[in-house]
Structure 1
Amino acid sequence: MTTEFDFKTIQISLLDFNNGQLDGLPKNPRFFRDYRYDAMKKSIEDSPEMLNLRELIVYPVGERYIVVCGNLRLRACKELGYKELPCKVLNPETPVKKLREYATKDNVSFGENDMDVMMNDWDKSELQDWGIEFAPEPEKDEFKERFEAITDETAVYPLIPKYDEKYELFIIMSASEVDSNWLREALDMQHMQSYKTGKVSKSNVVDIKDVRHAIENRNTKS
């Protein structure tokens, strides 16, 4: 079935938003966040000729017209002071099922933009002005950047031995020299066996067996 329509320029005062007033055609579900709506208004201001390239689709009811496709454009144009708009007027005999189909398909965005192409070949500021959304830039994680920049050559003592996956690594942090000295004394870290050389000396990297031994000896003495 080919739906008939006429091209007309219609006074805005005769155009009604789709609020569900036509039996069988639910209220228009489309809405934009404020920033996207503002972008659409700016797009109309910058390129008003687009209204002639993509007219509102309306359905006649008596002397008035219900906007089937383009409710948000109508709202924006009202706020911008338009008095009339180009429209495609559907045949009054158009089945209401077709009206639902048009309203739904007008709100569907088929396909996806290739963001790599858009970022590299297009002007991002222009695209944003025209309503294209980009994913927000991730927040900068300075600690993660510093951590990932560490190499074996630039790593700061203590170095962490590489254990097999079946073992667990425990890290104890101290922001106080008092706490650091207490831990060294409690675990006798001045006399720990080096995981690298096997020699007994001061170490900030200790094996759990040495920690357990220190705690058990401490408990025995007390």
Structure 2
Amino acid sequence: MNEVGILYKRAGRRTKKIFGQTWFYKQFDPHVLNAVMFALDERNMSFAERADPVLVSRAFTLMVGEILEGEWNQNYTLPGTKPFAWTGSEAILKEYFFSGGETVRYSQCWVFAGALTTMYRSVGIASRPVTCYAAGQDFDGNLIIDKDRIVNGVMSDDSVWNYHVWNQCWMKRRDLNNSMFDGWQELDGTPLHRSNGEYQMGPTSFKQVKRGVFVNKYDLRHLYSEVNSDYFKYDGNRVTKINRNL
């Protein structure tokens, strides 16, 4: 129910300093709900599908990547707002809605997560942003971060980010036919990994990630690897296992 919260980040790549940024969710603003409904209409999501929080929450991780344009290389050549200048979701969703669905520039992971929190809360799905420090990015799905290594003849794209922000939502997982997976679910709206051919991720049960229970919904291997994968780095002479920590 809170309309103001904190997004936790890390200051720079070479520092361990952690800080929080105030974020204004403003999920009760009427234009926010209008923007979310407009985005659902643009995705042609049926009313039957909108009754399922699992399908809605998953669709939102795709939609937020269409509402916001990600930019990680500071290539701000077109008019827009730099990621660090955003302080809340309301302005983003209003700009998207009143422009008739034009993509809003620019975003990075915490902006996607902040906007997603607002979107979920606006339709009654309990949500919060979460931050992972030293977040593994396992692109080949082997649960190992092969940094600077050649794997199967190809240089691995795996990496470790100094931090990454995604979302949790609270819901029942009737689709898994097991109540043990009810509760907090992990979802990620940063559009960097494809799932079923599109940039979307989750929901997968927090309990699955914590226990390593590999049930086939949704994107568990990647979400698991962000917090639990082994990290190997090749320095040109040998492969070394590195402990990821704060």
Do they fold alike, i.e. is TM over 0.5? no
Indicate the structure with greater strand content: 2
Q: Normalising by the residue count of structure 1, what TM-score does the alignment of the two structures yield?
A: 0.22
Q: Normalising by the residue count of structure 2, what TM-score does the alignment of the two structures yield?
A: 0.20
Indicate the structure with greater helix content: 1
